[in-house]
Amino acid sequence: MRQQRRDSSDHGRRRRLARRIGELFGEFLAEALLASVALALFAGVLAAGAWGWQHSPAATVVLVAGIALFLAFGVHQLATRRAGQRKRGRLAAAAVGTVVFVFIWAMYLVLYLPSP
């Protein structure tokens, strides 16, 4: 009887260990996929900027300035919003969402880009 309990207990431990290893591997794969997507997006932004600069430097500067102003507007909306204040418009919501996305993406890239 004791041998049977020990065998079933050992089987349960193995099952839990296998489940934990599976979870760890799944988290590793998810993290690797997220890092790959973030770095690919960064490479795409750099390639688009280089391509734009080659074809029309003035248009590229205007586009980057427009994006910077849009992000600044989003930061302004985040900084000046007070509790209880009425809801802002769709443009403000889009700007705030873009700022939050860019901030999270930039912080994620800081972890994965090699430092000098």
Cβ contact 96:76 at 8 Å: no
pLDDT bin (cut points 50, 70, 90) of residue 2 is low
**Residue 44 carries which side chain, given as an amino acid letter?**
G
pLDDT digits (tens, 9 = 90+) for 40-52: 888 888 898 898 8
Q: How far apart are CA 70 and CA 94, in angstroms?
A: 9
pLDDT bin (cut points 50, 70, 90) of residue 29 is very high
Q: How far apart are CA 35 and CA 30, in angstroms?
A: 9
Given this model, what pLDDT does residue 6 score? 56
pLDDT digits (tens, 9 = 90+) for 56-97: 888 888 888 998 998 898 888 888 876 666 667 788 888 888
Token pair in block for residue 36: 């790959």
Token pair in block for residue 34: 């997220």
Query: Would you call 87 exposed, middle or buried from its count of C-beta atoms within 10 A (0-12, 13-18, 19+)?
Result: exposed
